[in-house]
Amino acid sequence: MQLNGKTILLTGGTDGIGRELAAQLKAKGAAVIVTGRTPERIEVAKAAGYETVMADLSTAAGVEVVLAAVTGRDIDILINNAGVGSDHDFRDVAPDLADNDRCIALNVNAPIHLITRLMDRLKSRPEAMIVNVTSGLAIAPRAGGPIYCATKAALRSYTLALREQLKGKRIHVLEVLPPVVETKMTAGRGSKKMSAKDCAAQIVDAMETNANEANVGMVKILRAVYSLSPALARRIMIGF
């Protein structure tokens, strides 16, 4: 897809992968509307020249705020990038179910609601795209993060089915599966992490080439292992 001149709604675009993605898409000539929930980061994004929407997409009210902000706007590309982790490990402490619910709402419910509510506008464009950011953990989970892994696996299944539903339409559906990336969410989780800048570059390339799936960084190896032996891939990742 030619990105120049496109209007893009990018959730979670004020930090991490989203911030780098916004910068690279803007450099391609796209008009990028970014969402975020932290006032300080929203102000930084505004100063950088982005249109911004402050909203917490883990709530129904936050989804409505985003939709209201783009009422009547042509949206060519929707990127569901916002996501959050959630602890749920009985070997450590009792899970916080409210925190788990927030993770499920942000990682699964919000993308589905935005896709559904914006579908007619996407269908009206000469060409459009939906980009869902899942994770390598959608392929094989790790024991310490079952809620996060489950949400990404759910979004992956939704994306695969959505692509089939939209076959023959003018809406391309891209799934992005990043590895562990250097962000605030992954702080303290080892040292072999991909930079957010490099991750974003591979996402942009996948968008420009109309890829169906972008296995980013080390996820390429995981996908290769999984294609040979799903059981082996699961054994490798479960203790990650």
- Ranges of each domain in the chain: 7-238
pLDDT at 191: 60
Please tell me the distance from the alpha carbon of residue 80 to that of residue 132, in angstroms, as a whole number: 5
Planar angle of CA 190, 219, 113, nearest 5 degrees: 100
Report yes or no: 103 and 84 within 8 Å, Cβ to Cβ. Answer: yes
CA 179 to centroid of chain Cα atoms? 12
Provide the CATH topology of domain 7-238. Answer: Rossmann fold (3.40.50)
Tell me whether residue 226 is one of the annotated catalytic residues: no
State the pLDDT confidence band at 81, using cuts at 50, 70 and 90.
very high
pLDDT at 39: 97
Instruction: Tell me the backbone φ, ψ of residue 75, rounded to 5 degrees.
Output: -115, 120
Burial class (CB in 10 A: 0-12, 13-18, 19+), 167: exposed
Instruction: Answer whether residue 187 shows pLDDT above 80.
Output: no
Instruction: Give the closest residue to 148 by CA, choosing from 102, 193, 115, 194.
Output: 102
> pLDDT tens digits, residue range 204-231?
999 999 999 999 999 999 999 999 999 9
Instruction: Tell me the backbone φ, ψ of residue 32, rounded to 5 degrees.
Output: -110, 120
pLDDT at 189: 55
Instruction: Give the closest residue to 18 by CA, choosing from 32, 4, 30, 3.
Output: 32
> pLDDT tens digits, residue range 108-126?
999 999 999 999 999 999 9
Q: Which residue in 50, 148, 158, 226 is the catalytic one?
A: 148
State the pLDDT confidence band at 68, using cuts at 50, 70 and 90.
very high
More confident call, 129 vs 240: 129
